Amino acid sequence: MNSGPAQATITCRSFNAGFYVTSQSPSKTKAALLDAAAFADALKSAVAAERAGQRHGAVGKLLRERMPVLRADGLGHSDRGDKVAARIARSMDAIIKALYKLSPAGDDIALCAIGGYGRRELAPFSDIDLLFLHRPTQKSGDDASLRAVTDFMLYALWDSGLKIGHGVHTPKTAIDFAKQDMIARTAYLDARLLCGSKKLFDDFHGSYDRLRWGTKNQFVAAKLREQDERHAAAGETRYLVEPDIKEGKGALRDVQTIRWLYKYVYGGAIGEHKAIDKIMDASERRALQKAERFLWSVRVQLHDLRGRADERLTFDVQPEIAARLNYADRKNISAAERLMKHYFLNTVEVGRLTRILFAKLEEERAKRRPRLPALLPKELQSDEAPGKPNLRIRGGRLDFASAARARKTPRDFFRLFRAFSKKPKIDFHPDALAVIAEQTPTVTSDVRKDASIAALFEGILTKSSDTVRVLRVMTETGLLGKYIPAYGSIVGRIDYGLYRRFTLDEHVLRSIAVLARIRRGQLKDDHPIATKIIKNADTPLLYFLAMLLRESIWTLSDKSALQCEKLVQRIARRLGLSAEDAVLVGWGTANHLLMVRTAERRDLTEARAIENFAKSVGSRARLDLMLVLSVCHLRIVGWQSWDEVIRGQLTELYEASAAWFDGGEAMLHERLEARASAARSQTKVQLTGWSEAEKEDFLSQLTDTMFRSVDPDIIVRFAHLAQAAQTDSADAAVTVTPRDGDLEAIVYADDRPGLLADIAGAVAASGLSVRIVQALTTTDGKALDIFALQSPDGAPLEDLNLTRRLHGALLSAARKAPAKPPSLRRRLGDRRSIFSVAPAVRIEIDASQDATVVETEGLDRPGLLFELAAALADMEVSIVSAHIATYGERAVDAFYLCDRKRRKITDAVSLKKIEKKLLSVLSSGSGQ
C-alpha cells in the first residue's frame, strides 16, 4: 500500500487564444481599428457600400475585424479583470454609438445598455444586452421606422459574431414586463442610456424607480430564492475542484446579488449612498471590491484562453490561468493550487459579506415590526463547559452577549458553535462570526489543550443536527483550522485528478455528513452493517475524528503511514480519546484506503486474499472502522465511486474477514464453501424449464470459484446463452443488456490464448470503458467472460445502435481473433490526457495460492486493458482473472496470471519479462 496520497500531474499544454494573440503588437490595420475617428470613417463607408448595394455584409465584416482587436486592447492594458471589463465596455459603447449615429433613428428612440453591459462589466465574450425604448406608435409608419432602426442595429451586431440580447418597449410596457419578469427587472436595475432620447430614458427610469420603491421586499425575497436555487444546483458548496466562476457559490453572481440588493433597497450603488455605513463598513467594502477584482481577473483570462464564453475553471486551464495572473510554485504547493486556494478564500469572503447584508436587511425590516423579547432558548443556556454561555439572540440571530468578553475568551467561540449545533434554524449573526474570524490567532496551544473546549467540540461533532453546516462555518471563519492545524492545512487544497469532485476539506466534511446520517439510522437500508457498527459503538467520537482527520497525511513532509499515524494519535488524545482509541484512529486514518483497494483489486473468492487483508488489519475493531471509513469515503469522493458493485465487494470483504477473525482459517473456508454451495443451489432453482439431467450436466462444468465469483442471476443468463449456442451448434454467443445506465456483456466461447484481449479490443473500439471484467473458464474449456461497461464520461448508455454494434463486435471477436488490432481513439471531451501518471508494475507472488498477481498502474486511455491483455497473450501468459479499478485518469488493473499449463508463474526471469513488457505498454501512453 502507498504510504501517501497518489497524485496525478497536470501536463501543461499550449492553448490557441482564439482569433487574436494578446502578446503580439497590433498591425497598422489593427492600430487603425483602435483609432475611434478612423473606425467611424470606416464604418460610415461600410454602411454606405451596403446601402448602395456594392458590398453585402460590409458592416458585419468590419465589426468582426474590430472585435478581436477590442478584446486584445482591453487585456493588453491591465491584468486587473475589473479594469479589463470596464475598458471592453467603453469600447463597445463607442461601436454602438457610432453604429447608432448612422442608423435612421429619430428623436423618439432611446438605446440603453442593461445587465452586465449596463454596469460596464464585459468579459471578452460576454453577451451584449440592449433595450430599445420608443414612444407609443401613433400612426402606421411608426412601426416601420422603429423596425428600420432595430434591424439596422441588430443585424450588424449579429453579423459581427456577438451574442445580443435585446428588448423593444415603450417605457410603460418595459415596466409592465419587469413587474412580471424578475430577470428583466434585475437587468433594468443597471440600465444606462447609450444614445437617443434622454426624456424617454428618464420616463422609463422614473417609472422603474417607483416600481422599486413599492417592491423592495418582493425583490429581496426573489433574489434569495434565486440564490438558493443556484447554490443547490452547484451542490451547496463553493469547494468544487472545477468551479463555475460566474454561477458557483460565492462567485461573481453572488457578488452581483449583493450589489443588486443594496441598489434596489437603497436606490444607489454601494459607495453612493449615506446608508452604506449601516450595511458595510470601509473594511468590508474593500473586501468586496478585492474579491470582485480577483474573480473578474480570473474570468477575463478564462474567456481569453478559451476564445469563447466559458465560466468553468477546469483542471486543464488552471495552470495557464495561474501563470497569467503571476502565480508561482511554492514549497509543497503548485501555482495552480495557490490560484485555487485564493479562489476559495475569496468565495468564502463573498459568503461572509452576503451574510452581513442579509442580516442588516433583516434588522432594518425588524425595526418596522413590533419588537419581541430576544430570549435565549433554554437548551442554549447551558452546555458542556462550566458557567453561563456568553450568548444572546439579536435580530433573530445568534450573537455574543458581550463581544469584548468573547475576544478575551476563545472558549466562547466554541460555545457559539455548540449552541448553533443544537438550534441550526437560528442562524449566526455576522458580527459574531466577524469577532471569531478576527480573533482566530488567539487559538494557541493552551486553547487546544483545554478539556472543556474538547468537550464542546465533541458535542459539535457527535450531537449536531446538522454537523457539516457547523463545521463548514467553523472552517470558513478559520477557527477549525486553527484548532486542528492538520485540518487547516488541507483547507482549499486540491488532489489534482478527475476522480475527486471536491477540495480535500469539503470531501472530509461531506464524508462526515454521510457518517452522521448513518448514525441517525437514515441510511440503514443502504448500509445495514455500517449502521449496526455505529449504533453499537461505545465511543462515536472515534469514528467522527477518524473521518475528520483522514486526510492528515497531506500535511506532512514525510508522507509515510507511520508519521501520519503518530500525528493523528496526538490529535485524538488531545480531543478526548483514550490512548487505546487514539491508536485505533491513528491506524485507521493512515490506512483508510486499504479496504477499498483490496476490494477493487483482489479476487475475493480466494481465501488467501481474505487472509492477507485480515492479517494486515489485525483486529475486529479495525475492520469495523475500516468499513465505515470506506463507505463514507466512496459515497462522496467521485461521481461514479459508489455503485452496487463496490457495495457487494465491500460487504463480501467485510463478512469474510469477520469470519476469519471469529474462527480463523477454518471458519473462512467454511464460509467460502457455503457461499458456493448456496449459489449452486440457487442457480439450480432458477433454471426453470430444464430437466434435472440438464441441470446437473451444466452445473458440473462450473467450479466453486465461479459460483463464489458470479451472482446466480448472471450464471443463469450464461446457462441459457450456452444452451442456445449448443442447440444452434454455434461456437460462440453474446448477450448485451442495459443495467442501470451501463451495459452488461456476457460472452460464451471456446477458451483460447488472447481471448480476453480480443474481447477487450472490441469494447475499446466501440468507445466504451470497462468498469469490471470477470474471466472464468468451465471444466470443459468454455470461457465465461462478463463485462460491466460504461461511457467514459459516465453518461447513461441508451443508444440502441451502439448496443447492436457492440454485440456484433463482441461476437466476431469471440469466434476468432481479429485480423488487425482495433482502431482506438479518444472520445470528444475525454480529458484524461491532460494528466500524466507515472507507470508502475507491482508483482506479488504470495497474494494468491494458485496464481501470481501483477498489478499495473498508469494513465487510463482507450484500449488500455486490450493492450495489457494482448501483451500478456504475446508472452503466452494466461489471465485467470482481471480486476479493474479506475480513479479518474488513473487506471489500476490487477491480473491473476498463470502459464499456459495453468501453473503459477514464479521464476524471476519470466516475471522480469512480464514487468518490462507491461511497463512498455503503460509508458507508451503515460503522458500523451
Q: What is the pLDDT of residues 292-302, one digit of tens each?
A: 999 999 999 99
Phi, psi (degrees; rounded to nearest 5) at 343: -60, -50
Share of the chain above pLDDT 90, in %: 58
33 confidence band (pLDDT: 50, 70, 90):
very low
Question: Phi-psi bin for 855: left (phi > 0), alpha (psi -120 to 50), beta?
Answer: beta
Instruction: With a cut of 50, say whether residue 24 has pLDDT above it.
Output: no
d(CA 509, CA 868): 38
Which region among 209-218, 295-304, 791-800, 879-888 has the lowest average model confidence (pLDDT)?
791-800
- What pLDDT was estimated at residue 867? 92
Instruction: With a cut of 80, say whether residue 598 has pLDDT above it.
Output: yes
| Residues whose CB falls within 8 Å of the CB of residue 852, separated by 6 or more in sequence, listed in order | 843, 844, 845, 896, 897, 898, 904, 905, 906, 911
What value, to the nearest 5°, has the Cα angle with vertex 343 and ends 339 and 346? 135
What value, to the nearest 5°, has the Cα angle with vertex 249 and ends 245 and 254? 80
Report how many helices (DSSP H) and strands (DSSP E) the chain contains, helices first.
39, 16
Q: Which residue has the higher pLDDT, 654 or 753?
A: 654
Which region among 88-97, 390-399, 484-493, 875-884 has the lowest average model confidence (pLDDT)?
875-884
* Interval 314-366: pLDDT, tens: 888 899 999 999 999 887 788 988 999 999 999 989 988 888 888 877 776 66
Question: Phi-psi bin for 578: left (phi > 0), alpha (psi -120 to 50), beta?
Answer: beta
| Closest to 84 in 3D by CA, of 118, 122, 56 | 122
Asked if 453 and 499 count as a contact pair (C-beta separation under 8 A), the reply is: no
| Closest to 862 in 3D by CA, of 784, 783, 924, 797 | 924
Which region among 31-40, 320-329, 538-547 has the lowest average model confidence (pLDDT)?
31-40
Which region among 374-388, 460-474, 704-718, 787-801 has the lowest average model confidence (pLDDT)?
787-801
Asked if 95 and 103 count as a contact pair (C-beta separation under 8 A), the reply is: no
Mean pLDDT of all residues in 551-560:
87
Which region among 198-212, 238-252, 636-650 has the lowest average model confidence (pLDDT)?
636-650
- Give the helix/strand (H/E) hosting 223: helix 216-233
- What pLDDT was estimated at residue 888? 77
- What pLDDT was estimated at residue 487? 95
Instruction: With a cut of 80, say whether residue 839 has pLDDT above it.
Output: yes
d(CA 129, CA 140): 28
Asked if 474 and 429 count as a contact pair (C-beta separation under 8 A), the reply is: no
* Interval 731-758: pLDDT, tens: 899 999 888 778 889 999 988 888 999 9
- What pLDDT was estimated at residue 15? 33
Q: Which three cell numbers stand for residue 338?
A: 495557490
Asked if 103 and 147 count as a contact pair (C-beta separation under 8 A), the reply is: no
Q: Which residue has the higher pLDDT, 36 or 134?
A: 134
- What pLDDT was estimated at residue 456? 97
Quickly list DSSP for 402-438: -HHHHHH-THHHHHHHHHHHH-TTSPBPHHHHHHHHH
Which region among 3-17, 49-63, 188-202, 584-598 has the lowest average model confidence (pLDDT)?
3-17
- What pLDDT was estimated at residue 771? 78
d(CA 212, CA 443): 46
640 confidence band (pLDDT: 50, 70, 90):
low
Instruction: With a cut of 50, say whether residue 675 has pLDDT above it.
Output: yes
Neighbours of 927 (CB within 10 A): 14
Asked if 429 and 394 count as a contact pair (C-beta separation under 8 A), the reply is: yes
23 confidence band (pLDDT: 50, 70, 90):
very low
- What pLDDT was estimated at residue 142? 64
- What pLDDT was estimated at residue 105? 82
Instruction: With a cut of 90, say whether residue 69 has pLDDT above it.
Output: no
Mean pLDDT of all residues in 183-202:
96
Residue with cell 469474510: 656
- What pLDDT was estimated at residue 120? 95
What's the whole-number average pLDDT of the chain? Answer: 87
- What pLDDT was estimated at residue 19? 26
- What pLDDT was estimated at residue 758? 92
Instruction: With a cut of 90, say whether residue 114 has pLDDT above it.
Output: yes
- What pLDDT was estimated at residue 369? 54
Instruction: With a cut of 50, say whether residue 22 has pLDDT above it.
Output: no
**Positive or negative CA dihedral for 67, 72, 73, 75?**
positive
Instruction: With a cut of 70, say whether residue 553 has pLDDT above it.
Output: yes
d(CA 177, CA 538): 62
Q: Write the DSSP symbol of residue 135.
A: P
Instruction: With a cut of 50, say whether residue 616 has pLDDT above it.
Output: yes
d(CA 863, CA 822): 9
